């Protein structure tokens, strides 16, 4: 479980992204080409950090690499019903437990930084979204892809 609960991990990701931007030259990196990404919970953090950066008027990453992420803090989708029994890796019960460890309370489930699919996604950088077919998180990725496109964000999706 995280040592500190939401939103502290998102704030840590923002701090890391800002550090990378500020130290890009020393790292021999073009600061305008820094991307954020992650898999599963890491994809959630990449999305949330980018939202927090946008809302704070900070420089955004150039690109988002989002791999089979948790984009809604809920376990009632069709993909959870189909693949959430644990036979395909993590099950719905375990994921719900991990969500409860991460969030401060049930109200956080509706916070757009915890559930980025609920956020205003306008103005975000282009994204690549990978979707695993036999995954309880499949519908999260599909929903995020739909919402990103509806917000005018360039999205490439691989399923």
- Per-residue model confidence as pLDDT tens digits over 52-97: 999 999 999 999 999 999 999 999 999 999 999 999 888 999 999 9
**8-state DSSP, 89:** S
Q: Is the residue at 151 inside a domain?
A: yes
Q: What is the phi-psi region of residue 89: left when phi exceeds 0, alpha when psi lies from -120 to 50, beta otherwise?
A: left
The pTM score is 0.96
**Mean of pLDDT over the chain:** 96
Asked if 35 contacts 61 with a C-beta cutoff of 8 angstroms, the reply is yes
Residues β-bridged to residue 36: 64
Report pLDDT for 130.
Answer: 98
- State the residue range of the domain holding 136: 8-158
Residue 1 domain flag: no
Q: Is there a domain that residue 107 lies in?
A: yes
The answer to whether residue 64 is domain-embedded is: yes
What pLDDT is stored for residue 3 in this prediction?
85
Residue 103 falls inside a structural domain: yes
b/e map of 137-151 (b: 16 or more CB within 10 Å)? bbbbbbbbbebbeee
> How many degrees, rounded to 5, is the angle at CA 74 between CA 35 and CA 39?
25
The total of structural domains in the chain comes to 1
Q: Give 128-156 pLDDT, tens digit per residue.
A: 999 999 999 999 999 999 999 999 999 99
Q: Summarize the confidence of residues 114-119 as an average pLDDT.
A: 98
């Amino acid at each position: 479980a995280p040592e500190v609960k939401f939103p502290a991990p998102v704030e840590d990701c923002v701090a890391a992204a800002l550090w990378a931007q500020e130290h890009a030259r020393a790292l021999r990196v073009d600061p305008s080409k820094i991307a954020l990404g992650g898999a599963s919970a890491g994809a959630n953090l990449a999305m949330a950090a980018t939202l927090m950066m946008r809302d704070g008027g900070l420089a955004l990453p150039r690109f988002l690499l989002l791999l089979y992420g948790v984009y809604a803090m809920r376990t009632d989708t069709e993909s959870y019903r189909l693949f959430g029994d644990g036979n395909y890796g993590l099950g719905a019960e375990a994921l719900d437990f991990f969500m409860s460890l991460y969030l401060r309370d049930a109200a956080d489930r509706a916070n757009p930084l915890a559930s980025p699919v609920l956020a205003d996604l306008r103005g975000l950088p282009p994204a690549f979204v990978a979707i695993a077919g036999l995954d309880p998180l499949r519908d999260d990725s599909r929903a995020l892809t739909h919402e990103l496109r509806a917000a005018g964000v360039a999205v490439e999706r691989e399923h």
